[in-house]
Each structure stands twice: as structure tokens, then as C-alpha cells.
Structure 1
């Protein structure tokens, strides 16, 4: 499955699985239904109670306006997720690991016009299927990408990217600073693989990594053994806070 590497401002690289084309189309269809229902409700209300309502103008320009408005507002307020993306576990993120801005959301929404509305989706499909990062034109311009957002993972991409300072996360194991960045990237990869493929082999790898790191850092082995997954997550977050 295609993936993209996000290089965060904390110099941590995170591999994310890009959204499948079928899932993106499914999310779009769900959003289209939500958008159509909302538009019909507004249109009916305007016809019944609006003064000076021009039905012809509303039918020609209304769908375009509402489509742009819907995707802009829903992705902005939904932290990169519309109704369809939320239901199918997709999320829009920035390639530089920073938080999405209103300008990013607006750019993506406006480029829906050439990507989808004016070309019946063919331009978006062309860019997504031929590009290395599965980006449509709006994603390329806004420097964003749509990823699979695994709801089962406790340590989500958002958890890592929103750590900015010591006030947001209190480090528990200061000794983690003795480790090299390559060590923590291995910890990160170990966690991500276990949460994507929860089988006995990956569970054992997490437990062995926890025990090994506890020994290196002089931490009570019982802390790592009690919940190796949580222990490695804490070490990773501590390292980011203490070294960035």
C-alpha cells in the first residue's frame, strides 16, 4: 500500500498509509449525499420564506457555492475530516507535519472546482492514480495529503504532531535523552507496526523492545512489563519533548 513520510518539526519521521482511491471515492459520495440534503433544505427554506429569491440563480450557482463552503467548513472544524472522511477513517494532513490552517482548507475546497466539479472527478483521479503521494491537484497546491486514519491506534499522528512544549506533556523518563534519534525511530516503527498488525510476533517485538530499553535506561523492568506498548509510547513522547 502506498505510503508517505511526514517529517515533523520535531525531526521525527512518521510513515503514513495514503488513502485508497476507492475509500476516497466512497468518502466523497457520502459527503455528496450530506451536501445534497443540506442544499435541498436550504433551497426549500429560501423558497418558502426568502424575499426576492431567484430560483434560477440558486440552481446554477448554489451547488458550487455550497460545495466549496461545505468542504471548507467541515474539514476546518473537523481537523481535516469531513463527514465522509470521518466515517471511512480518512484524514487530511500537511506534508510538513504542521497543523492545517484555514488557508489550507480553503485552497483544497476551491480546487475541488477543477478537480471534481468541472471535470466530473477525472482530473482528481488522474492526479491521484499517477502521483507518488496519491494527491489531487488541490493537495499538491496546499501541500497536503489524505491518509488512512487508524482509529484503533492510541498513538495517532495527531498525538505526536500536537506536542509542542513541556506544558502539554510531562516527561516521565528523563534518561531517555541518552538514546540516539535512530533508536527512537526504531521505537516509533515498532509501535506503528504492532498497531497496524496486532499479531503475536509484533507483540513479542514490543515486549522485547520495552525490556531492552528499560535495562539500558535503568528503569524498573516491571514498568515495561506491565504494559510494554504504553511504556514505549511514553518513551517516544518524552524524547520528543526533552530533545526538541
Structure 2
């Protein structure tokens, strides 16, 4: 299973594995089975109690107790259970933002509103989209900026967010222009410095020259490698300052 690797605004690397179509469908089947048991069980209980939807009040009561929870089931579960329905919880998968953060209420709501287009109305268009997208996202996910990932990776994200707090303790940035770098450029710098290739020194030198030209930096401290490392720390420092 391919991993989705992101560099967050705090310069924390997140590697998360998208849930497969099979896992998502199985979670959905479990959810539907639980809802079926709920509706049938409640209906049998009402029938044995001699309660029928013969009056307006009774009909409203049945609608509020049975049909509304079923209609809003996935939305309520994801909002109040941090992106997990019961089916997702059993399969150890979870809804998160594409950058690894927790979705907002509007994101959950948008996913829920577009679900009928993904499955019932279009006859399963969302399944095709899941198969064709890199992070296995349905239309609702693409619109809301969310994805469904394996739970074990989500826990790693939460643990790793505090790894760089030491930078805020007395650190003084050297290159304020580091804030002009994009996440993709930061990722390239990090990969180059972490590379073990034989031509690493040449690649570091070329990248340092390109970055100096891009940011209009005329004077730098230390060698090319130290310059790039300082840029990374400065970028991280300013990103942490914005939290």
C-alpha cells in the first residue's frame, strides 16, 4: 500500500497510509448492518408495545428516534468520535485532513452531504474515484480535503508533532526569507541533506546555489550544507511561531 508523505507547516514529516477500498467498503457494510439491527430492533420493540404511527406526535417521535439517527449516523460519529464510525473503528481506519490534521465540522459536513453522489445517486461513482486517486479519496474527500487512513499511522502523527519544540527555546533565526520557501522546496532540501548518494556533495552545492539565487541571499554562514540546515531550522522556527 502506497504511503502519503506530507511536510506540515511545523516541518513535521507525516507518512500515512490511505485505507484501501476493501477496508472502506467493509467498514461501510458493518455500519449498515448495525443500523439495520437498530431499526429492526426498535421497530419490533415498538410493535410489541402496541405503538403505531397513527398520530402526528407518534410519527414525529418515531422519526426523531429512529430515522434521524440513521440519517445523521456517519456525520455524528465522525464529528464526536474523531473521524470514526463504529465500522471504521473496528477496521482501525479514520478520517483526517489530507495534511494529517483533524477535520473541521465543515469538512465532515461536506463529506456527509456528498455521500449520496458518491454512492446511491450515481451508482457508485465514488468507488471509481477512490480507485483512480492516489490517496484513495472519494468525491466527498476531494471536496472536503480529507482522506481515510489507517489508524496506526494517525497515532504516529500525534506523537511526532512535539519533536521540534526545542527550536523555540532561545533559537534566533538567521534567514528571515526562509518563510518564502514552499513545503515542496523544504521537502527537496530535507531529502537532499538526508541522501546517501555518492554525488551528495555536488547535489548539496547545486541546491545551495539555487536557493541563494531564489531567495536573493548574497552572504551565508558556513558551508553549503550548514546553510541548508540553517534554512530548515529557520523555516521551522517561523512555522512554530504561527501556531
Identify whether the pair has TM-score above 0.5, normalized to the shorter chain: yes
Residue aligning to 1:91 = 94
Report the secondary structure of 1:111's partner residue: helix
For residue 150 of structure 1, report the CA deviation from its aligned partner: 1.6
Partner of 1:141: 143
Q: Distance in 1 between matches of 2:90 and 2:100?
A: 23
Cα distance in 2 for residues equivalent to 1:116 and 1:171: 47
CA offset at residue 54 of structure 1? 4.5
Who wins on radius of gyration, i.e. which is larger? Answer: 2
Using the size of structure 1 for normalisation, the TM-score is 0.58
Q: CA deviation at 1:124?
A: 1.6
Asked if 1:130 is matched to 2:132, the reply is: yes
Aligned pair in 2 of structure 1 residues 135, 170: CA closer, same or farther (>3 Å)?
closer
Equivalent pairs counted in the alignment come to 177
1:26 and 2:26 are equivalent in the alignment? yes
Structure 2: give runs of 5+ residues left out of the alignment.
174-185, 195-235
Listed one character per residue, the Cα deviations across residues 83-122 of structure 1 (whole Å, up to 9, x for unaligned) are: 11111110111013432111111111121111123345x2
Describe the shift of the 1:35–1:20 C-alpha distance in structure 2 as closer, same or farther (beyond 3 A). Answer: same
- CA-to-partner distance for each residue in 1:207-230, whole Å, 9 max, x for gaps? xxxxxxxxxxxxxxxxxxxxxxxx
Structure scoring higher RCO (CA < 8 A, sep ≥ 6) equals: 2
Report the 3-state secondary structure (helix = DSSP H, G, I; strand = E; otherwise coil) of the residue aligned with 1:138.
Answer: helix
Q: Report matched runs for 1:98-113 at 5 Å.
A: 98-113=101-116
Q: CA deviation at 1:157?
A: 1.7
Partner Cα separation in structure 1 for residue 81 and residue 136 of structure 2:
21
**Inter-partner Cα distance in structure 1 for 2:83 and 2:37:** 22
SS in 2 for 1:80: coil
Checking the alignment, whether the CA contact within 8 Å between 1:39 and 1:66 is kept in structure 2 is no
Structure-2 residue corresponding to 1:12? 12
> What's the TM-score, normalizing by structure 2?
0.58
Residues 113-135 of structure 1 deviation map (CA, whole Å, 9 limit, x = unaligned): 11123345x21211100112210
C-alpha displacement of 1:243: 7.2
Runs of 4+ displaced beyond 6 Å: 174-178, 240-243
RMSD: 4.0
